[in-house]
Structure 1
């Protein structure tokens, strides 16, 4: 039997929370362990219930979703946080990704996409369309002017730098493998190693770092 994914839904709209609960709990492998109507309650419930995944609204009273995300991810062995948005505040979404959120979902996303994203988040897989991430990061990242390989990335091998550049262009693991003419398992190994060396949680944060450090420039590729 597959393990059950435990989810915390944080949104200030009761109807949104109820709708998500109905969709998620219709599946046998997902359980909504708690709800929160504001950021403070989300932080408390995350500590009490220890969910695998937090669906976090960006706009909430008392404490906003960004601050709540930062607090939750600062705790030992934190859950994966997925930001919920109407996408009219892309700057906020970027800040949430930079703070450590694993990705984002539109609030009007189809049920099938919501379920797939929750399952992906629970297993550490890619959550969002890489090209959307790229456009978002390009819009807000401010590269540091630095010749050669940026200092923050000098622990990476040439091969790992190549992989990071391709990830920043929005390529999936399979597309990176095809571009580099290697097996997809080899790409996954490179990705795991570069995440460890850069001390980032996931590929989204790695892409943010690639742009902010100046390894990749806006509109490249």
Structure 2
């Protein structure tokens, strides 16, 4: 970073919160608050007018919320980086914010200790999340990666193999599958073995869990 101050826009729908943030940031010699906004639409306008380094964005503002505003900034290819500041630390809020393009996430209850560090980290191009949040994200992305791999494997199946997969998940035996698909039990078993090889599964429980994850159990697509 150069000696220039980090230019910040505050976006929160509570005046008292913005005042507190301005006071906190104003004590730092390397940070300058250049504008404030009370909702997502106003935040977008302030960012466009002032071209800050960082916009501190509340998630649950009235009107356009912080996630939508963040997604719009990304769509506009804005160089301004978004730091989410919110009272919510649950995964249901954290993941959508980062998926939308936020570069950092700070819970308001820890702002006094984390906010300045987060602003500086985000301004220099890093990502900032607390260790607890990082663990949540790591697990979520691990699950997502596994689900994506499973879905890709399922999509690689032929239509007949998909039918066999679904029937096995629904509890049908090889002979019953043959009867339903008008093929021999031996042919049905051949399809079963192909599915096992392609998806890396074998037990009926594996079929059920995967079918539920893919949303194809019970005839759903």
TM surpasses 0.5: yes
Q: TM-score, normalised by structure 1?
A: 0.61
Bigger relative contact order (CA 8 A; separation at least 6): 1
Query: Where does structure 1 lack aligned partners over 5 or more consecutive residues?
Result: 151-221
| Cα offset, 1:87, TM superposition | 2.2
CA distance 1:41–1:110, shift in 2 (3 Å): closer
CA distances 1:181-204 after superposition (whole Å, capped 9, x unpaired): xxxxxxxxxxxxxxxxxxxxxxxx
Query: Following superposition of structure 1 onto structure 2, how do residues 46-195 of structure 1 map, counting pairs within 5 Å?
Result: 46-87=47-88, 89-136=90-137, 138-139=139-140, 142=144, 143-146=146-149
1:168 equivalent in structure 2: none
2:26 equivalent in structure 1: 25
For the 8 Å contact 2:89–2:107, the answer to whether it is kept is no
CA distance 1:89–1:4, shift in 2 (3 Å): same
| Cα offset, 1:136, TM superposition | 3.8
| Cα offset, 1:145, TM superposition | 4.7
CA distances 1:102-124 after superposition (whole Å, capped 9, x unpaired): 12001122424211111111101
The two structures, once aligned, show a CA RMSD in angstroms of: 2.4
For the 8 Å contact 2:5–2:30, the answer to whether it is kept is yes
Find the aligned partners of 2:68 and 2:58 in 1 and give their Cα distance. 11
User: Which structure shows the bigger proportion of residues in helix conformation?
Assistant: 2
For the 8 Å contact 2:11–2:43, the answer to whether it is kept is yes
| Cα offset, 1:139, TM superposition | 4.6
Structure with bigger gyration radius:
2
Question: Structure 1 runs of 4+ off > 4 angstroms?
Answer: none
| Cα offset, 1:57, TM superposition | 0.4
